[in-house]
Amino acid sequence: MDFKLVDQGWGELIDCAMKRDSTRIRIICPFIKAGAAKRLMSQKCAAQFEVITRFDLNGFYAGVSDTAALQELLKAGATIRGVKNLHAKVYLIGKQYAIVTSANLTEQALSRNHEFGFATKDSSIIEECHSYFEKLWKNAGPDLTTVTIDEWNSKVKSAQTSVANGQKAPRLPDEGTDLGFSSEAAAEPNLVNTAEQGFVKFFGLGNDRVSSSIKVIDEVNSSTSHWALSYPATKRPRNVKDGALMFMSRLVDSNDILIYGRGIGMAYRPGRDDATPGDIKKRDWKAHWSRYIRVRDVEFVNGALAECVSLNDLMAKLGPSSFVSTKERYQRGERNIRLRATYARKAQVQLTPEAIAWLNDQLDRCFEQHGKISQKALSDLAQSAR
């Protein structure tokens, strides 16, 4: 029996299988991101390409799955159908290869998460996997079209606009076929652990550092970082994409930058994400910092800044692998890299996947030790900020 248990390297495993034989591809996967979809399609296109996934618009809204990924798959010739509450992950590649895993079709899952499953060339197992696929496929409803995706995008953008305007997030429909698996929705991946883009957003200037004894909730109130991150009026923050993980930080008087919270960012949209006269009247500094990246699902340490995560510690731990730009320079052979110069006089710095994982782990430890600022307290701040 050709059967192998696997706990890492899923992306490479799928790549190798497709290079050997990609005449037929069948995928069952609830959450698909654009980066992983493009990686899949960088191999040879299949004559038969079928995908079963979830059509839950709440997942697209949350950023754990991408309509852009589905668009790319359709362009590559895939036929796609949707099933409610889908949680299985099965990759049938070529005529004689099957992979069953906990890994979704995301770069995070394929390359960085702890996932487990097996790969096999055993004909009896492969036959059973194909039978399972065909059972779902037969009952999974109509094929997805680009027209339908456009309709979904309109609904998702409308929901994002509502949240950006301070309204409660609406519950969006699940457009998949109900096959009676469960009355409860299957769990979605943790947004924090699936983000494919991450930034540290700085508050304060080099000549405007504060004491690390300041309470986080006071910093949140001062910066309004519980609902929007402010950027210079002279430069729109166009490099932040929907679903980016935003870490909020403050320059402090110990020549450090302390990271006190995180949230999911929404890409900048002109008009919607510019400070209003009312915003500026309440906080006059917003005349010069008038561009917004809205954030949702925010979490903040319930303590003082001194009890939060040090950017100095991150750089000491990861070195050039801390930031996207410094890692790229190091990989090109550059060795005399000054990390602080990378983000000097900038509103934010983009993080590597390693740095995102490290910061998430450190923040989780802070939350365990000090707790999180309550949602009621954040709601009260939101009301006073508007």
Per-residue pLDDT at 339: 95
Q: Is the pLDDT of residue 189 over 70?
A: no
Per-residue pLDDT at 342: 92
Whether the predicted model's global pTM rises above the 0.85 cut: no
End-to-end Cα separation, the chain, in angstroms: 65
Q: Is the pLDDT of residue 293 over 60?
A: yes
Per-residue pLDDT at 243: 86
> How many Å apart are CA 158 and CA 32, to the nearest integer?
22
Q: Which of 108-122, 124-138, 352-366 has the lowest mean pLDDT?
A: 108-122
Side-chain half-sphere exposure of 303, counting CA atoms within 13 A:
18
Per-residue pLDDT at 180: 79
What single-letter amino acid sits at 284?
Answer: D
> In which band, very low, low, confident or very high, does the pLDDT at 234 lie, cut at 50, 70 and 90?
very high
Q: Which of 54, 119, 71 is nearest to 93 (CA)?
A: 119
Query: Cα–Cα distances in Å, from 35 out to 155, 247, 327?
Result: 23, 22, 19
| Structural tokens at position 56 | 């839950």
DSSP reduced 3-state for 66: coil
What single-letter amino acid sits at 86?
Answer: L
> How many Å apart are CA 360 and CA 362, to the nearest integer?
6
Q: Is the pLDDT of residue 192 over 80?
A: no
Length of the chain, please?
Answer: 386
Q: What is the pLDDT of residues 334-366, one digit of tens each?
A: 999 999 999 998 999 999 989 999 999 999 999
Judge contact between 52 and 144, C-beta under 8 A: no
Per-residue pLDDT at 385: 56
Judge contact between 78 and 84, C-beta under 8 A: no
Number of neighbouring beta carbons within 10 Å of residue 356: 24
What single-letter amino acid sits at 146?
Answer: T
The domains found in the chain, sorted by start residue, are: 3-154 (3.30.870.10), 195-385 (3.10.590.10)
Between strands 228-231 and 245-252, the pairing is unpaired
